[in-house]
């Protein structure tokens, strides 16, 4: 495919003379725990996603689009920093604790919305944050003019109830710019409505909107009419999951319609992706799955097979990107930050220190050069994977317990381990990964489960011994499932 761009705008971008009103608005929409095969444009037949399908048809679908981590928080840290999150020690989900000024993304890390803000963009984030709940990590302190949503890793879709245990904040109040906020009805729709309001309140300056849905992440809750729409799906999890995706898709349609109504759709670059693959059940964890499908890929959320990190990925910019395009070279979520910063700063290359590539010149060219020689992953400090531009992937995943080498063009489901047949290539890829890993640091954070266990024990230990001697018995602390 070829990227179509008017000559005047192209020259303006190339030479840095682009007027502020020529720069595109940028909307980044992220789903949470969505399976690769759960949209029409990626092959779903039992879930209806007309708005996502229309978005894909209006731009380019990246059929080999990846994220930097197989689960929520670290994937978002890579996305918003534009750097591999391993560079600054963000390798696990942070616990929800507004009182802890260390439990979050490194305050010294500049997130790309801050760079857009400095370039004159109005910036907003709506929905899930999951990069730390204390003041140093708050969205309003990290480059966003506007925030409506929740700071933890998930939320109940119908209620706020401060009487329930706080734990990960699933029933805590939402926030709007640091003040408590509520929502009416269903959370996904409330987030979509707020995104529409943000777009409608835009003035002459360009804006960046990060709409971070928590759908279809658990709990599996959806409006009754949406669930009824999928009564033909026999599996209850899949039925509820489908209803959640359907409602999110309707919200995306509301956002696109708002851009149309404001007369700014043509010059708005819209990205869509999921933060990771859908969680899958296993013999060891039979209740883990959320009803999603990552077909045809192996694995899912939490592991480094393609099912965990290969996600649905769209870019649409009607005035500038040829409609209905397909791009099959590997790209990664880091490229979104690089592209946004390059466009906002009117420079063809991203800011120093960012590790993605500007996708616009890449789509503008008709050659087959890959934007990345290698893509890298590390999880838990020891599990790792690397993908080269020929889509040969070397992975050491704890589920396998041994190195594996897959040639994805002929083995998309990662079933045929070629490590013994191609030992030289396996060693070369391992050496590349080791060289990349030298610039990484250890994780700064404990997992949220370990953190809460330690914090609970701290409070138990703080109870005076003579209190228990007098018959005091603390209420059992709820544990994580």
What phi, psi does 3 have (nearest 5°)?
Answer: -85, 125
What phi, psi does 66 have (nearest 5°)?
Answer: -125, 160
**Among candidates 355, 357, 331, which has minimal Cα distance to 342?**
357
Residue 124 bridge partners (DSSP): 146, 209
Cα 268 to Cα 28, 92, 288: the distances in Å are 10, 33, 38
Tokens linked to 425: 């290539």
Q: What is the rounded distance in angstroms from the CA atom of residue 49 to the CA atom of residue 9?
A: 33
8 A C-beta contact, residue 271 and residue 68: no
Q: What is the rounded distance in angstroms from the CA atom of residue 233 to the CA atom of residue 166?
A: 34
> Length of the chain in residues, anyone?
481
Q: Residues 284-290: contacts with CB within 8 Å, 24+ apart? A: 289/237, 290/33, 290/216, 290/217, 290/218, 290/220, 290/237, 290/241
**Among candidates 320, 336, 41, which has minimal Cα distance to 212?**
336
Tell whether omega for the bond before 219 is within 30 degrees of 0, i.e. cis: yes
Handedness of CA 324, 329, 330, 335 (dihedral sign): negative
Report the Cα–Cα distance between both ends of the chain, in Å, rounded: 47
8 A C-beta contact, residue 282 and residue 24: no
Active site residues: 72, 130
Buried b (16+ CB within 10 A) or exposed e, 255-279: bbebbeeeebbebbbbbbbbbbbbb
Alpha carbon 77 to its chain's center: 9
Q: What is the rounded distance in angstroms from the CA atom of residue 239 to the CA atom of residue 302?
A: 23
């Amino acid at each position: 495919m070829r990227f179509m761009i008017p000559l005047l705008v192209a020259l303006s971008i190339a030479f840095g003379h682009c007027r502020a009103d020529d720069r595109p608005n940028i909307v980044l929409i992220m789903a949470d725990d969505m399976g690769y095969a759960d949209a029409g444009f990626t092959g779903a037949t039992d879930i209806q996603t007309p708005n996502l399908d229309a978005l894909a048809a209006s731009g380019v679908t990246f059929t080999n689009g990846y994220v930097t981590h197989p689960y929520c928080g670290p994937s978002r840290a890579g996305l918003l920093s534009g750097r591999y999150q391993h560079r600054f020690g963000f390798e696990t989900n942070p616990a929800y604790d507004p009182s802890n000024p260390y439990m979050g993304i490194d305050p010294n890390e500049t997130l790309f919305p801050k760079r857009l803000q400095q370039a004159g963009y109005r910036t907003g984030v709506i929905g899930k944050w999951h990069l730390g709940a204390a003041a140093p990590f708050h969205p309003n302190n990290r480059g966003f003019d506007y925030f409506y949503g929740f700071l933890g890793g998930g939320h109940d879709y119908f209620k706020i109830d401060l009487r329930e245990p706080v734990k990960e904040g699933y029933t805590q109040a939402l926030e709007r710019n640091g003040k408590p906020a509520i929502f009416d009805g269903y959370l996904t729709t409330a987030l979509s409505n707020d995104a529409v309001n943000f777009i409608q309140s835009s003035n002459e300056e360009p804006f960046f909107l990060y709409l971070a849905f928590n759908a279809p992440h658990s709990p599996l809750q959806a409006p009754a009419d949406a669930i009824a729409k999928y009564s033909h799906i026999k599996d209850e999890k899949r039925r509820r999951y489908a209803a959640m995706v359907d409602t999110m898709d309707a919200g995306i349609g509301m956002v696109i319609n708002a851009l149309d109504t404001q007369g700014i759709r043509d010059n708005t670059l819209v990205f869509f992706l999921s933060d990771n693959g859908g969680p899958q059940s296993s013999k060891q964890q039979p209740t883990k799955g959320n009803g999603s499908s990552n077909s045809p890929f192996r694995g899912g959320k939490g592991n480094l097979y393609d099912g965990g990190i290969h996600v649905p990925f769209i870019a649409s910019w009607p005035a500038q990107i040829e409609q209905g395009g397909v791009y099959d070279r590997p790209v990664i979520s880091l490229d979104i930050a690089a592209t946004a910063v390059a466009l906002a700063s009117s420079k063809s290359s991203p800011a120093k220190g960012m590790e993605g590539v500007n996708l616009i010149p890449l789509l503008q060219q008709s050659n087959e050069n890959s934007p990345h020689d290698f893509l890298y992953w590390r999880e838990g400090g020891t599990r790792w994977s690397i993908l080269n531009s020929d889509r040969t992937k070397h992975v050491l995943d704890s589920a396998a317990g041994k190195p594996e080498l897959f040639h994805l063009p002929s083995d998309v489901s990662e079933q045929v381990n070629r490590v013994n047949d191609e030992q030289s290539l396996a060693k070369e890829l391992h050496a590349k990964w080791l060289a990349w890993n030298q610039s990484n640091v250890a994780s700064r954070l404990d997992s949220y489960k370990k953190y809460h266990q330690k914090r609970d024990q701290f409070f138990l230990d703080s109870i005076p011994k003579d209190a228990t001697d007098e018959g005091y018995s603390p209420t059992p602390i709820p544990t994580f499932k």
